[in-house]
Amino acid sequence: MSDLRTKALDDFRRCCKDRGLAFTFQRQVIYEAVVDSREHPTPELIYEQVRQRIPSISLGTIYKNVKTFLDSGVLKEVTLHHGTLRLESNMTPHHHLVCSSCKAIFDIEESAVEPVQFPKTRLPAGFSIQHCRVEFTGVCKSCRTNRRKTSKASS
């Protein structure tokens, strides 16, 4: 087991304890599926991974635990506007690149983006900002390559 994965699971155990959540085998396997994912998985992708280890688990159980993890701050939702729930276990401050074609999501370090400034005088009355997420939308290399191949083939 890699050091990063071990640290993530140790952090998960500590977060569960700190937030009063029972640390169960089911929850551990669900969390591991998110940590082990090379993308920002949907609950359905998590379900497919978890079923390999717990064949009797239901998609409803995945959604219930994901909601618990989100509500308690153990996981984060990548974006509110992506069309489907996408999750991540990377709790360090960072931003995202999103492919508008295939919907792949790539993390970028917070330091790679200039600090976002928003004048307090422009906020609606009573609104307070809790945090800022920057999301850049574009087309990934794979989709650009596929578009070039498709356009050459149709020429």
pLDDT at 96 over 80: yes
- pLDDT bin (cut points 50, 70, 90) of residue 82 is low
Q: What is the pLDDT of residues 5-62, one digit of tens each?
A: 788 888 889 989 999 999 999 999 999 999 888 788 889 999 999 999 999 999 999 9
CATH T-level topology, domain 92-153: Dna Ligase; domain 1 (3.30.1490)
Token couple for 115: 């600090």
Residues 141, 138: Cα–Cα separation, whole Å: 10
As a whole number, mean pLDDT of residues 75-99 equals: 77
Q: Which residues, in sequence order, are CB contacts of 77 under 8 Å at separation 6+?
A: 70, 85, 86, 87
Residues 75, 12: Cα–Cα separation, whole Å: 9
Q: What is the pLDDT of residues 103-128, one digit of tens each?
A: 788 888 888 888 887 777 788 888 88
* Cβ contact 58:95 at 8 Å: no
* Cβ contact 66:76 at 8 Å: no
Strands 87-88 and 105-109: unpaired
Q: What ranges do the domains of the chain cover?
A: 3-77, 92-153
CATH classification (class only), 3-77: mainly alpha
